[in-house]
Amino acid sequence: MAHGRLWVVLGCALALAGCGDDDGPIEVDAGTDAGELDAGEGDAGRPRVPACDATSAEVYETPGDLPEYSEEEAGRVVRCAAPTSLSAARIQELAELRDYDGETLTSSSQVRLFSFRTPRANGAGGLSSALLFVPDPAPSGPIPLVVVGHPTTGLGDVCAPSRMMEEDSSLTDTHRMLMPLLGSGHAVVMPDYVGLGTDGTVGFLNAREAGTTILDAARAAFALAPEGLLDGQVFLVGHSQGGNAVLSAQAIARTYAAELDVKGVATLAPPWFNVRPLSDLGLASTRATGAIENFAAMWAIGQQATTVSDAAAFDVLAAEQREELRALYDTQCIDGLAEAVAAVAPTVGELFSDTTLRSFRCTSFGTCPTDPWGALLDAFRAEPDPDGAPIWFHLGSLDNRSPMEPIACDSVRPYMAEGLPVEACTYEQTHNLMALEPMAWVREWIAALADGGDAPSCDASLLPSCGMDMDGGVTTDAGMDDAGMDGGVPAG
């Protein structure tokens, strides 16, 4: 089997983003100077939202009196807290801490924590928390909404970015993407993802669940934002795990949330490649636990939660270590998580349950009478909507977490050959700095498309050809062997 390159491709996927600097967390002040962020009142067709007087703790709780979940409930604001203020000076400070060296950021933001309803992948109702940022002072006219898909922070509720904004320092890549948008006056909503911070277990990298959460966050933001602030246009921007989330949203936006006017998708360093070879872990019970094994465990926990039940989420782990591992995943965010997991479960056989490994083996050999894990691996990437919003992939040639070559050869080049609305921008940059490097382009892109213009140009010269006819012909051999990523396990 030509599966060797996956050990390289996924070897650092655990750290898909969010780990890094130990600089201070976001600190916000009570929003007394910036004026009151006015919640929607249901007039002019705007959905009603509750009074924004909940405590932060209440926002994350699921009320006991919620109606039965239905499509009409998707994107409904459940609870919201009083607004706080994030000053331009603090935004600039946070941006510079995360290596920003662009033009001075001059806009402040009002920040509102809220929760909204959105479905799990199995159709059950779920709850996601989120942060809505609106420019302060208000702009002179309506502006677009930017939905940000944040990179990986962990599985535990303590790892939800809306909680970590006040308490944690491991949001480097999230800040790299977010602060330039806030400081240049954009309206931004950033969901935590359903089950991260709220009840349940987050469906880590489940395409369907991530896509609906992104779109329902936009719906909720339109209800919650001050009347007249937003012009109806939506831009989706995500890095790493969040890059996958916004791609998944593009695939379903026209059918799931047809009322949203999604103008474009910018996906920064997404791990958007074939992951079916993960099933080969079923053949490697003595293999040492490292980044790829932890990535596989996080992914398996998330899929079990979304497709079976939250109660069964951790059944994929070995029985003897299960409770200790569960406690670890509940409390340890992405920084140092792989090493901590390896200390508890040093090998694949000690990390995964026998049942899970048997299922992986039959998936690998193609001998399963039914193959739910194979179906989930195949569904890792949602097929882009050919009539949906155009997509710009931003890829780094020095990225060893979302490597350019397999993404280009598994996804970007084939999409282009099929005539899908896909473009690519390439950079000589690492994975973490891909959260920052494209942001000047992203801001220019939002402004251009919002005004009905063309996207700014970018350099695609580093994109591999993958053995494909550059005029859109048929691939000669763009399989895994030729992606140049075969063999070996990366350090760290």
Tokens of 362: 């039959």
Answer yes or no: is pLDDT of 37 > 50.
no
At 34 the pLDDT is: 35
Rg (CA), the chain: 21
At 171 the pLDDT is: 85
CA distance 313 to 208: 17
SS3 268: strand
pLDDT in tens, 98-155: 999 999 999 999 999 999 999 999 899 999 999 999 999 999 999 999 999 999 999 9
CA distance 434 to 431: 5
Single-letter residue type at 177: M
pLDDT in tens, 145-189: 999 999 999 999 999 999 876 546 678 899 999 999 999 999 999
At 485 the pLDDT is: 23
| Biggest alpha carbon–alpha carbon distance for the chain | 64
At 362 the pLDDT is: 93
CA distance 327 to 342: 14
Task: Identify the residue whose tokens are 């996927």.
Answer: 13
Task: Identify the residue whose tokens are 């001059």.
Answer: 106
Give yes or no for a cis peptide into 403 (omega within 30° of 0): no
Answer yes or no: is pLDDT of 473 > 70.
no
Rounded to an integer, the average pLDDT of 442-464 is 97
Burial class (CB in 10 A: 0-12, 13-18, 19+), 235: buried
At 46 the pLDDT is: 57
Rounded to an integer, the average pLDDT of 228-255 is 97
pLDDT in tens, 253-300: 999 999 999 999 999 999 999 998 889 999 999 999 998 899 899 999
